[in-house]
Copies of this chain bind each other. A is one copy, B any other.
Amino acid sequence: MRWIRFDNNGTPTYGILEGDTVKVVTGDPFDGYEETSETRAFGDVKLLVPVVPKVFYAAGLNYVDHIMEYAAKTGREPNIPPEADVGYRANNALIAHGETIVIPKDATERVEYEAEIVVVIGKKAKDLTEANALDCVLGYTIGNDMSERSWQKSDRTLWRAKNTDTFKPMGPWIETDAKLEDMETIVRLNGEETIRFKTNKMLFSVQTFLARMSKYMELQPGDVVWMGTEGSSPQVKHGDVIDIEITGVGTLSNPVVRAS
């Protein structure tokens, strides 16, 4: 099942996408919903981010080649995390599929994408085991963890490097039937493929993260966990379009502009 969230004359509303038809619901996929008789053509709706989380978790460094390539680029030692210690991103930076990533005027040229599978939590969960961890997952969406690398290096935190407004595209929808082990992540910059990797080839699995996190935190419906990215990214610039496809989930596409 594919859950979309769209702008219904100013009211964020959930719908179920079947082919090109959106079946409008009341309520939401987290606290319960009822289908209505109302439908929309998918092409006519303005998509919103599929959920605004209570907590926006991010695995950070979670693919080996990404860590090695980032280390090589920055001349630092590779920083392979010894444990699945989760990090955070910020809701202000979220934008939907199709919306524009705006690079601030004073950013350097070192602006890069990071293509990530996003786990969407469907129900409250505490003290999960790796065996039952996926039971609390509603489905998956796609995230682009846009990063300004000079700020990532210079600043004490990731605040503007990763959480500048528009730096967190997420969408286009939540897919509930996809399986992690079948997914492949493919990035295209202006239509040209730049990387392709097995989505589930992570340093720490989704199950490992959820089990460890839920030992200290009750996960909440609507929380999201961005699982990190593989490889490295070319610099992106004004006029580019970034497409992130995850097979079985969909494609998140966003244009880029530089503020003038």
Contact = CB atoms under 8 A, between A and B. Distances in A.
Contact of A85 (B52, B54, B60, B155): B155
Contacts of A218: 92, 165
Interface string A48-91: 00001011000010000000000000000000011101111011
Number of copies: 2
Given A90-B55, A91-B54, A91-B55, A157 B60 contact: yes
Contact of A216 (B87, B91, B104, B219): B104
Interface of A: 52, 54-55, 60, 81-83, 85-88, 90-93, 104, 155-157, 159-160, 163-165, 213, 215-220, 223
B85 A159 contact: yes
A143 to B, nearest CB: 17
Given A54-B52, A54-B92, A55-B91, A216 B160 contact: yes
A88 B87 CA distance: 10
A81 B155 CA distance: 9
B88 A165 contact: no
A27 to B, nearest CB: 17
A160 B223 CA distance: 16
Nearest to A104: B216
Given A54-B52, A55-B92, A156 B81 contact: yes
Contacts of A157: 60, 85-88
Given A83-B156, A104-B215, 12 more contacts: A55-B92, A60-B156, A81-B156, A85-B157, A85-B160, A92-B217, A92-B218, A92-B220, A104-B216, A163-B217, A164-B217, A165-B217
Contacts of A164: 216-217
Nearest to A87: B157
Contacts of A55: 90-92
A202 to B, nearest CB: 15
A88 B91 contact: no
B86 A216 contact: no
